[in-house]
Amino acid sequence: MGQLSITPEPESHPSSISDLADYSFSPTKPFEAFNVIREEFAKCSNHPPARYVKTFTLSTWNPPPHPLRLQGHHLYLTLTTLESETFQLTCHTKGFYINKCTKSHFDPSPRASSPSSSKATFYHSLFQLICSISPLFATRLSETWSRALSPSLPDFFSSIPITNCTPAYPWLVNPPKHTADGLRPQLAFLLTGSVTAECLPLARDWADEFAQVRELPRKTLPERTLRERLWNRLQFDFTMAATRSVIACNAGDVPPLNPHEPETAWTFVQNNMLISRAADPIAAYDHLGGAVAARAIASKDLTNIKHLNELDIPGVYTMGSAVVDYHGKRWIVQGMIPGIFRPPDFEAEAAKLLAAIDTTPKDDASKESEPAGKPQGEDGKHVDDEAEWEDVEGSDAPEMGLRSDPQFHKLAAKVASGFNLLEHKVTDLTGNAHQLWLSADIHGIKATDGRYYLIDLYRMTPLDVLFLKNDFKGPILNEPPPNPESVEGTDSDVTQVAPEYPHRFTLIRSEAVSAFKTYKFRVFALDQLTKRQKEASEAPSDTTDGETKKSQPPKANGAILEEDFKFGLNPDACVDRKSQPWETSVDKDEEQIATVKELSSFVRQQLLPTVVQELCEVKGLPADGKRVSDLLHSHGVNIRYLGHVAHQLESAANSFGVATDHKDDQLVVLKANIGMLHSEMVFRACKHILNRLLEQSSPAGTSHCISHFLNCLLGTSPAIPHEADCFDSDAQWISYTKEGLQAEIVQEVRSRYRYALPASFFSERLSVTKTQMLRELCTRMGIQLALKDYQLSEPVVEAAPPPAHVHSTDEEEASADSTPIAEGAVSSSNKNKKKKKSKAKKPATNFGTDNSIATQTFSPMDVLNLLPIVRDSTCRSSVADELYAEGRKAFHAGHIGLGQELCNDALTTYEQVFGSVHPEMCRHWHSLAIIYHQLYQRALMELTEHNDRLEELKLHVEGMKVEVESYVQLAAQNLRQSVIVAERTLGLDHPETIQQYSDLSVMEYTLGNTKTAMRYTKHALDLWYLIYGPGCHPNGSAVVTHAGYLTQTNLEASKHLRPESIFELSQVLIGSFYGQSSGKFAEATLILSQVYAQGARKDLAVRYGEQASQLFKDRCGADHEQTKLAIQFTEAINKSIEAQIKGDEEKSARLAKRLGLDPKRAATLRARLTASSSHSTQTNGRHQESIKSDLRVPSSSKPIASTSKISYPRKFDLNSLQTD
């Protein structure tokens, strides 16, 4: 499915501020954020794109014969105009012309342009030719051209092609309408010019292309930029080719190289790429966990390849690699190393082993093995015309032992330095000792092109020893105590047995290794400082002949150099191998093993509490499950510790006593994070279960499998699979029920995360977050559903009588494994009726009827597509990152011009490397917009300070006004581009996209586009509800509150004084998350009272003021400062009301006395005069206030990235409550 940019245009959608004030935070419309897509499609249907011709295809006479090619014929086209005339066109070197061909007769000679002329006309442009034969084409083309020049044309970045990244496909899309297009199946000929398979372009040599790009010069800045540009483009081309190849292999379009072996062992070669499954067909990883370990190994291998590419070590090469998850299977796609398919020379291998254990002296052996007649190079080594394939490091088979090479050992040392690995000793089966920098599982290959390649880089970090020791078969966290009444029963004993972790391939993340290295260096530095201080205090003063000897100054003026710090880890420490043909020295490696154990302890005792502490903070609430995973990974904590994090958060929540100060707010955040962790564990369990089901199902049953799984997990009615002939009736997913799926999810969570889900999760947490669980499953598994309002909650409907044609017996109703079949769904044939009845008797084929499917939440027709999830080894641009970092430093140092120049150069480099539409571009546009907004705030503050001396600094003030305007315009421009690119590359509902919408609303308000800013705020709020669910995310309520602050002076009186105002909406959102007895809700209530007091609705101000006073009193006590402030504010409003009433009575009495009227009539007349004059006064006042707002000091000097973390004002100016 294609993507659609939904950035609202101010001109195309008429809106008002009341859109946000009237916004109903209703949990019954979770898919409202995608209404823009519906509006865009409805708009397209109301105004369909203009048709210029009826059909335009390649002619069946293509390709031109060779004699005509020599005469200048390139191509033949068939065109049917809107006037229903068909023409055959020739593409000639002289131009385009109409020929005399028909469907059955070939005559490419030119036809006369008109009946009165016998001379043919050549057109240099195809548009000119069509305009000459079709007046309707010329009319439609002129209309399109005029629309393209209109100012309401969408932004340039919404239509520019995406060249260097995969677009973000929405998970809810409109069902496509398939139309006939004769040109669509002919594009292959247009692009390649091939009519047979033999004429297709040759496959690309990926290994050679990657090697050549890596060998490009990189001394100057332009050379580095060109090298990174070519590298990233090549990586993207490889990823796209890998994705297409995996889809073809999965569909059976590519024959395997080894069809006689099991399907999981099949290997494919497509487009010079080696494609295989991440499985364990030969039981090579049986001791680690089999196929589950193979999937983890493939992921680690790709991660380490990406890290090695970032290190960019000269002389070390890797293959292009990608991991594709598709249809429940994990595919590994790699480029082919030169010489990989050459048959191995077993005799040469045996000779090398014999030479290793031979007693012949080294010099004699080298002379005997020296080939005759071979020239020698400068270094004395033999130079062959073509190098031989050689495995120079590691071991590819246990019986062949280990290998090591001196030349490769030097390269491996550089790799080990980047991965913080230590040189260690390994002894093979022949008794020879090898010094290895890398793990023995990693293979170094000297290919036939003479280059050194590294493969199987999955073990580049040490093993998590303590996890295997404590958690592999350890207890389940949060496990309820067993029932004492059933302890003696056999079944209860079985249920209390903790399941094993699925695999033993539990490595530590590289981020944890980096953090551990920093920790060890800090310890080393403290030890060095302590030692130097001790030596300085104990050192005696040396004197000779009355002259004091000057002691040598310490190295580097006493500084502790990083070069003096030695750090490294043994990747082979404590590794369990199957049929291990080598052994490590336990005595000498005792210190290395102790370091690995210390690292594992560091993860559990230092990094894990850091994550817990961050999640305990009020600001540490992730937006969705993906952000939770990113948070753990950024701190070096593996996903398998999700259960530990949830358990520690629960312990922190239980440790709260009586809620005082802001502890109740923190407790709310803690509970929200615990629920988020529970949902993330359930999602990952569902992902593993659904992958297993999809892997076992046929491609024709994919939509049925997914829809039935979603019905079992999220549906509101009993999940009954739909009967169809396109899948096997004995598929595993058919027998799934809601209860069975929930039990399997609980067991999966217990096994993978060592955690017991609360018994109330499915009835309480999942029941209110079904939309968010559906979004997680679709976005992270590549599922695209039809865009409609799915009924995920129990509908309230009246009881209806059953259909007259449905009959059920008492026996059928009592059976839980059979489903009645409606007679209307059965064929009139007796034979078909027997088949239906026989199928209904089988428990495994519990199919439903068409009527039962109509009641299902998800149907197979709702599943529109299954997209591959692709991970590649693309790296960041080091050149652009360095330029941007220097630009930020210049901005912070006050060098504005230099900072702008460096940041603009960085953005230009990003665009050259990645293209204009890329996630890196949108992130840095957003960051640069924040910097410009900070400059705008600083310049505005200076302008306000100089405004007091306006006369003497008039010229300087005018210049500063221009500077302020330029900053805010640049910030808004960067943010608009950032939002569009974020929608196209990150996703319509990505958290970064939502944050950018919130920041863009601030910019639009600063520019005076209040209505547009309100629409952006409302859209951001809809997205927050979609991805987070009921109890809106605090960022959503903060966005609304900030919007209220910004628009107080621009709201009309009738809108501003309504109860459903922006601040009241903010109060509702805060109460939905923190609760109506929390401190945040009390502050929001006090703010709402202040807003009504400013708007002259003092009755509502008193009501909300009294409510806030009571909340503060119950929460903090009567003597607390906030309680006193709220009470004082309420009393001031009451006094103001009394004074206003008394003043009105006195003024009415004076008016009655002066005009000689009745006091009541005089009061009515005065009220009318006051109401008529207040409107004009308010309008003029608002105009003056909008002018002054340009010179007002902003309320916060923080960057706009922090506008979602707004602190509410705690004081209010009581002098603002004035009477008439």
Give me the sheet containing 863-866, strands edge to edge: 172-173, 783-786, 863-866
**Confidence at residue 853, expressed as pLDDT on a 0 to 100 scale:** 55
**What average pLDDT score do residues 1155-1168 get?**
67
DSSP single-letter state for residue 779: H
Contacts for 840 with CB less than 8 Å, ≥ 6 apart: 818, 819, 820, 821, 847
**Confidence at residue 13, expressed as pLDDT on a 0 to 100 scale:** 33
pLDDT top residue among 1102 and 519: 519
| 289-298, 582-591, 709-718: which is most confident | 289-298
CB 317 within 8 A of CB 414: no
**What average pLDDT score do residues 1209-1218 get?**
36
pLDDT top residue among 1210 and 349: 349
Look at residue 453 and tell me whether its pLDDT is greater than 70.
yes
pLDDT top residue among 1111 and 413: 413
pLDDT top residue among 23 and 111: 111
Look at residue 724 and tell me whether its pLDDT is greater than 50.
yes
Alpha-helical segments (H) within 947-1075? 954-985, 991-1006, 1010-1028, 1034-1046, 1053-1056, 1062-1074
- Find the range with the poorest average confidence among 3-7, 696-700, 1117-1121, 1162-1166: 3-7
pLDDT top residue among 733 and 1207: 733
Rounded to 5 degrees, what are φ and ψ at 268? -120, 150
- Find the range with the poorest average confidence among 780-794, 834-848, 1205-1219: 1205-1219
CB 1057 within 8 A of CB 1095: yes
Look at residue 1152 and tell me whether its pLDDT is greater than 60.
yes
pLDDT top residue among 914 and 1142: 914
**Confidence at residue 502, expressed as pLDDT on a 0 to 100 scale:** 94
Measured CA to CA, the distance from residue 77 to residue 96 in angstroms comes to: 10
| Tokens linked to 853 | 């499917």
pLDDT > 90: percent of the chain:
30
Could you tell me the pLDDT band of residue 845, with boundaries at 50, 70 and 90? very low
pLDDT in tens, 73-99: 999 999 999 999 999 999 999 999 999
pLDDT top residue among 1047 and 983: 983
Measured CA to CA, the distance from residue 764 to residue 768 in angstroms comes to: 7
Measured CA to CA, the distance from residue 284 to residue 900 in angstroms comes to: 56
Look at residue 1003 and tell me whether its pLDDT is greater than 70.
yes
DSSP single-letter state for residue 1215: G
Give residue 442's Cα distance to chain centre.
31
Could you tell me the pLDDT band of residue 45, with boundaries at 50, 70 and 90? low
Contacts for 817 with CB less than 8 Å, ≥ 6 apart: 843, 846
Angle (CA) 435-439-445 rounded to 5° is 85
Query: What stretch of H or E contains 392?
Result: strand 390-393
**Confidence at residue 7, expressed as pLDDT on a 0 to 100 scale:** 38
**Confidence at residue 223, expressed as pLDDT on a 0 to 100 scale:** 93
| Tokens linked to 651 | 């312990």
| 273-277, 471-475, 829-833, 1150-1154: which is most confident | 273-277
Average pLDDT, the chain: 76
pLDDT in tens, 592-631: 888 999 999 999 999 999 999 999 887 778 888 899 999 9
pLDDT top residue among 31 and 359: 31
pLDDT in tens, 161-205: 888 888 888 999 888 888 787 777 777 777 776 666 666 667 889
**What average pLDDT score do residues 728-755 get?**
89
pLDDT in tens, 1004-1061: 888 888 778 888 888 888 888 888 876 677 777 777 777 777 666 555 444 443 544 6
- Find the range with the poorest average confidence among 51-65, 304-318, 723-737, 959-973: 723-737
**What average pLDDT score do residues 985-1009 get?**
88
| Tokens linked to 857 | 């939440």
Domains and CATH numbers, the chain: 55-173 (3.30.2280), 206-335 (no CATH), 663-792+831-870 (no CATH)
Look at residue 545 and tell me whether its pLDDT is greater than 80.
no
pLDDT top residue among 697 and 1058: 697
Q: Which residue has the tokens 């980096």?
A: 514
| Tokens linked to 978 | 């950032």
**Confidence at residue 243, expressed as pLDDT on a 0 to 100 scale:** 94
Measured CA to CA, the distance from residue 418 to residue 228 in angstroms comes to: 20
Neighbouring C-beta atoms of residue 907, cutoff 10 Å? 20
